[in-house]
Structure 1
Amino acid sequence: MGWLVRKKAIGAALFGLLMVTGCSSGGGSGSAPSASTPSGASAGTSSTSPSGDTADVEAAYRKWGLKPFAAPPAPPAEKPVRGKPGEVPVVSDIPTKEKIVFVTFDDGAEKDPKFVAMMKDLKVPFTMFLTDDIIRGDYGYFKPLQELGNSIENHTLSHPNLRTLGEAAQKNEICTQQKKLGAQYGKVPGLFRPPYGNWNENTRAAAKSCDVRALVLWRESMQITNMQYQRGDKKLHPGDIILAHFRGPKELKGASMTEMTANMLRHIQEQGFTLARLEDYV
């Protein structure tokens, strides 16, 4: 009987220690999330932070004037975006009730090394939609960003308004860029974003012939300090896709790309959202 009492006492002490240090099995399932933490997320944990001390993660974020993001929920076993049989789906947001959003960067004009350093520190997930005419002078800039786990997707060869082109010309813009990006980065894109968000049924047919699985639009676009919203309530919604660009001081009126990105991430956190990886859902 004395042995059993001592065993219960030791077990209680260990449980108390785990609760104090914040350690628990299963990604923090023993603690209740805060009101701003998405359902399924672990409070106070960076979604893609490196394994290591929480203080190191917080220091990396503090360097950029930010706080770590809550971890997103596990991606669904089956991707929720599916088109009709034989049809490439077109998406502006992802069907989900989780408080997650998806960040994307377009074009590739600005190649700021500080942005690479920022993403190495923060390790937040994002998707790049790149145009060959814009990136061909420095394909290598985007490889460290890809090595962080962020995919490189298709944004045409020359950034035309696709509505002004026939299906053959659209197919050339999309399919040739598929091959170029595959050759440069070792993986053929699965997603395509039409420049300016302009597309028609010829675009969808061309994309299908190029083995694109989805056309990706957006719900919000990041400017310099604020976001532009498509909805009247001017708020983020679960599953929204956010458009940003590789832009520098000339386009950002003196601000840097890292400043724009930090502003965007703050807006996302202030509205109680965290970040997930688009390719896990499309």
Structure 2
Amino acid sequence: MRLVRQSHSNTAKGVRSSAPKGARATLALLAATALATACSAPAAEDVNPAAGQQAAAELRQKQRAHAAAVKRWGLAKAPLPAPSAPAKKPHIDTRDGFEVDDHDGLPPVFTTIPTKDKVVFLTIDDGAEKDPAFLRMMSELKIPYTAFLSDYLVKEDYGYFKKMQAAGVSLNNHTLHHRFMPDLSYGAQKREICGMQDVIEKRYGTRPTLFRPPFGNYNEDTLRAARACGIKAVPLWNEEVFVDHWEYREWDRDLRPGDIVLSHFRGKEDWEGTMPDMVRRFLKLITDKGYAVARLEDYL
């Protein structure tokens, strides 16, 4: 309840009351009692048992739905909830060790986010497989992820990724044709990156600020071209998850807080399994190790 400080005296400064002394004392006591009662009583809008019961019922319903989704998608354990997004975004250094401002303001390249939160970030590249079951699984389990798309694959079904975007997934730049960028001139690299910016803006209404070079390979021209196309950051990855195994960048083959994990839009044509199979492997390992999946954009 919001209290407004105010005077409850019957006597204004410099003005004496004409009421008898005993009456004034009685009035003062009654006024004090009324004020105490008003301050201790809950506000009318705070007393709504029906609303509280409805909120509790809705929470129980969501919990039952999530438990049913965990069982339906074959998970041994429920994924851990991610903490709230940080109020202050972490400072990102480039993977090569130079500060962004020391390198002409080029977008930073990084494989992990500096955070103490026990979270990892799932990113999925290219757009070859368009499995409706994957969309349902990620939506029902409420697992955040970030997509990096290449037009030569996405254009087979722009609508699939529109559904993904409608579910809250950020659609980002992975070039038009997925070419090895260091082999290209600055102009050719710029056409690959800016061209994909144009496609995503036309098809999905937004112009990405995140870019991932194909194969994770880049040179200074790549970063200059990315900056010219409006890119603010270049996330790579520290681990890659497949349908049947994990691969690690670091020697100890382990997760760290803030690690970015890569996977691909792939199915049985390329893997011995499906995208939901990949997600199950991903969630099993990170949940067993006490990690939650957070949204990459919340930390950038």
Is the partner of 2:124 in helix, strand or coil?
strand
Are residue 257 (structure 1) and residue 267 (structure 2) matched? no
RMSD: 1.7
2:69: which partner in 1? 60
Calculate the TM-score normalised by the size of structure 2. 0.75
1:84: which partner in 2? 100
What percent of counterpart residues are identical?
45
1:106: which partner in 2? 125
Partner residue of 1:73 out of 83, 90, 93:
83
Alpha-carbon separation, structure 2, partners of 1:61 and 1:185: 30
Alpha-carbon separation, structure 2, partners of 1:51 and 1:197: 44
Aligned pairs (5 A) from 1:1-282: 52-66=61-75, 67-82=77-92, 84-85=100-101, 86-253=105-272, 255-282=273-300
Is the partner of 1:129 in helix, strand or coil?
strand
Tell me how far 1:260 sits from its aligned partner.
1.3
**Equivalent AA in structure 2 for residue 114 of structure 1:** A
Is the partner of 1:212 in helix, strand or coil?
coil
Alpha-carbon separation, structure 2, partners of 1:51 and 1:108: 36
Contact 2:135 2:164 in 1 (8 A): yes
Alpha-carbon separation, structure 2, partners of 1:52 and 1:190: 37
Tell me how far 1:122 sits from its aligned partner.
1.0
Contact 2:126 2:265 in 1 (8 A): yes
After alignment, is 113-122 or 161-170 more displaced? 113-122
Is the partner of 1:105 in helix, strand or coil?
strand
Tell me how far 1:51 sits from its aligned partner.
8.6
Alpha-carbon separation, structure 1, partners of 2:284 and 2:274: 16
Q: How many residues align?
A: 234
Provide Cα deviations, 1:191-238, integer angstroms capped at 9, x if missing partner.
000000000100110010011000110000012222101111111100
2:7: which partner in 1? none
Alpha-carbon separation, structure 2, partners of 1:270 and 1:252: 24
Is the partner of 1:192 in helix, strand or coil?
coil
Contact 2:80 2:287 in 1 (8 A): no
- Computing the radius of gyration over CA atoms, which structure comes out larger, 1 or 2? 2
Relative to structure 1, the CA distance from residue 201 to residue 51 in structure 2 (aligned partners, 3 Å threshold; closer, same or farther) is farther
Contact 1:123 1:148 in 2 (8 A): no
* Unaligned ranges ≥5, structure 2: 1-54, 93-98
